[in-house]
Amino acid sequence: MRNLPDAEPGRPDDRSAIAYLRWLVRRAWRPVYAAITLAVLWMLCQAFVPAIVGKAIDAATGRDHRALLVWSLVLLAVGIGQAVFGIARHRFAVVNFLGAMFTTVQVTVRQAGRLGSALPRRLDTGEVVAIGTSDIRQIGSAIDITARGTGSLIAVLAVSIILLTTSVPLGLVVVLGVPLLMAVVGLLIRPLHRRQQASREQQGLLTGRAADLVGGLRVLRGVGGEAVMGERYREESQRLRGAGVRTARVESLLEAAQVLLPGIFLVLVTWLGARFALSGHITLGQLVSFYAYAAFLVTPLRQLTEAIDKLTRGHVSARRVVGMLRSTTDLPDPAEPVPAERFRGELSDPASGVTIRPDEITAIVASVPAEAATIADRLGRYAEGALIDGVPLGSFELATVRERVLVADNDARLFTGPMRADLDPSGSGRLPGALHTAAATDILEALPDGLNSEVAERGRTFSGGQQQRLRLVRALVADPDVLILVEPTSAVDAHTEARIADRLITARAGRTTVLCTSSPLVLDRVDRVLFVEQGRVTADGTHHGLLASEPSYARTVLREEEQ
């Protein structure tokens, strides 16, 4: 059994929706082509059954016992083949469906990570939700239906050839009737998808509106705007309901046409076949075959219309996925990135004069704490301007910077799910040491299931200090080359802060670490302190040395101590 999802999906082809769907097929061509081959054999087995039954009936009416036995054995073999091919086709179909879904989830989630803070400006919340809940299924269905659609097409061609060789007039009825039925259904599919797209866009807008309402409910209540926004949501909800009803009308017509038109076709073929049998143009067995073929063709015809429907939906969904994949981040990768091997040396921020020497634990103290956070953003390339050994960070691929430099601040969130997966998603084995360093073992001891306990949304069941220690655990587990911590102990008590400071210095000894803090308990233990005023480094030294020589530094640190 194939394990899904694949560890590395690769780089998607985002030139167009069709290019993206082709890329999904290319990267999983073995199961896709296997499903197509099995579907063709499965449908051909079904297509040959009426002809074989007709031959057996003719042998029975002619009292040819040998021929009857042969055709009965052939029918048995075809039936067994149909069962085997059908089961195998379904297995590969499920793999293709899930594979396309999981791959789309992977590439869109990675793109969301690359976009970072630019994601809300590039895509509405509802659009992102719709891609993750609806579009991935449509794309999976589009890849899945290629097998049954191809098999149905081959089956229709095979039946047409069989009928033409048996009776040209009846064969022509089938050959001409099938495209006519497909054309009528096609007339309904185009308006259906226009209405589906309008309904889906309205649903995305409404989802975004709901997210905004929930996020800003307190503010709305405070200014008395809750009723106004609620009424606006109600109006948009009614528009979505109307769009859904209009879509359902066309869907009902399509479903009715898929049943009615093949039924009329079945009646026509049966009537003509009966007349030909009475006139002696075809045998009794051939009449049974024609009737069976008329009934059988309902299935491949419906599967062909289903294929057109799902491929069209998949194309629409792939277009939205491609739109997300082509969205640009605020920090794009360079056209010719510098090799990752050159990512070493001093990390510096020319705008502020901050220089971080390798293998040292450096603290940045700012008279205005926001200035230290701004410097941390540049050092981690969340804003442009920092250098590594004189080379701009923007010259490297963003993935390289993210792999080597980790900025952990208090805006990070805990995720819903098992605690173990939240803190150590890769299973690195560094979790016990990180829990000890962050003085967070008591948090786990208080949980009923320890690391297997479920984390509530955004970790709301934990206090501010507990969340801060758990975020520190996650940063330590990542074990980056350069770790930048912004106010890592601001929400814990002095006793816990002292323990964290001692353990953190020991755990990161000889590793490049930056602490943006003004806590004396932490500053007293670091290798070097940089003091920033008005966005520039004005002093560089040890904590005690700066206390004695820099009055501004002393005021900043002592103010923190008093607080």
Note whether residue 332 is domain-resident. no
Specify whether 148 is located in the same domain as 114.
yes
**436 — pLDDT class (breaks 50, 70, 90):** very high
222 vs 492, higher pLDDT: 492
Specify whether 72 is located in the same domain as 167.
yes
Asked whether the predicted pLDDT for residue 51 surpasses 90, the reply is no
What share of the chain in percent tops pLDDT 70?
87
Q: State residue 126's pLDDT score.
A: 63
Q: In this structure, what token pair is assigned to residue 195? A: 């209405």
66 vs 221, higher pLDDT: 66
Q: What is the mean pLDDT of residues 222-247?
A: 69
Note whether residue 1 is domain-resident. no
Specify whether 262 is located in the same domain as 300.
yes
Specify whether 29 is located in the same domain as 65.
yes
Q: State residue 475's pLDDT score.
A: 92
CA distance 326 to 17: 11
Asked whether the predicted pLDDT for residue 427 surpasses 90, the reply is no
Q: State residue 562's pLDDT score.
A: 52
Asked whether the predicted pLDDT for residue 426 surpasses 70, the reply is yes
Q: State residue 15's pLDDT score.
A: 87
CA dist 242 → 118, 129, 206, 253 (Å): 33, 21, 13, 17
Q: In this structure, what token pair is assigned to residue 379? A: 């050092």
**222 — pLDDT class (breaks 50, 70, 90):** low
Residues 6+ apart with CB under 8 A from 553: 365, 529, 531, 539, 546, 547
Q: Number of structural domains, the chain?
A: 2
Best CA proximity match to 465, nearest among 445, 490, 486: 490
Specify whether 320 is located in the same domain as 360.
no
Note whether residue 330 is domain-resident. no
295 vs 524, higher pLDDT: 524
Q: Mean of the per-residue pLDDT values for the chain?
A: 82
Specify whether 168 is located in the same domain as 39.
yes
Specify whether 422 is located in the same domain as 314.
no
Best CA proximity match to 524, nearest among 545, 507, 508, 539: 545
Specify whether 72 is located in the same domain as 110.
yes
Helix ranges (H only) for 216-297 are 217-223, 226-278, 284-296
Q: Which domain holds residue 281?
A: 17-325
Rg (CA), the chain: 34
CA distance 445 to 350: 45
Q: In this structure, what token pair is assigned to residue 339? A: 């090799």
Q: pLDDT digits over 333-354, tens only?
A: 788 899 988 888 999 999 999 9
Note whether residue 4 is domain-resident. no
**216 — pLDDT class (breaks 50, 70, 90):** low
Q: State residue 305's pLDDT score.
A: 75
Q: State residue 297's pLDDT score.
A: 74
CATH code for the domain in which residue 461 is found: 3.40.50.300
Asked whether the predicted pLDDT for residue 286 surpasses 80, the reply is no
Specify whether 276 is located in the same domain as 360.
no
Q: What is the mean pLDDT of residues 232-259?
A: 74
Residue type, 197: Q
Q: In this structure, what token pair is assigned to residue 527? A: 């290798």
CATH code for the domain in which residue 108 is found: 1.20.1560.10
| Most confident residue range from 83-87, 236-240, 454-458 | 83-87
Burial of 82-92, coded b for 16+ CB within 10 Å and e otherwise, reads: beebbebbbbb
Q: State residue 533's pLDDT score.
A: 93
Specify whether 346 is located in the same domain as 302.
no
Residues 6+ apart with CB under 8 A from 341: none
CA dist 5 → 24, 33, 106, 422 (Å): 13, 19, 8, 19
Count how many Cα atoms sit within 13 Å of the Cα of residue 225 in the half-sphere of its side chain.
13
Which helix (H) or strand (E) covers residue 141, if one does? helix 136-166
Note whether residue 245 is domain-resident. yes
Q: Are the C-beta atoms of 94 and 110 separated by less than 8 Å? A: no
Q: At what angle do helices 284-296 and 298-325 cross, to 10 degrees?
A: 20
Specify whether 311 is located in the same domain as 346.
no
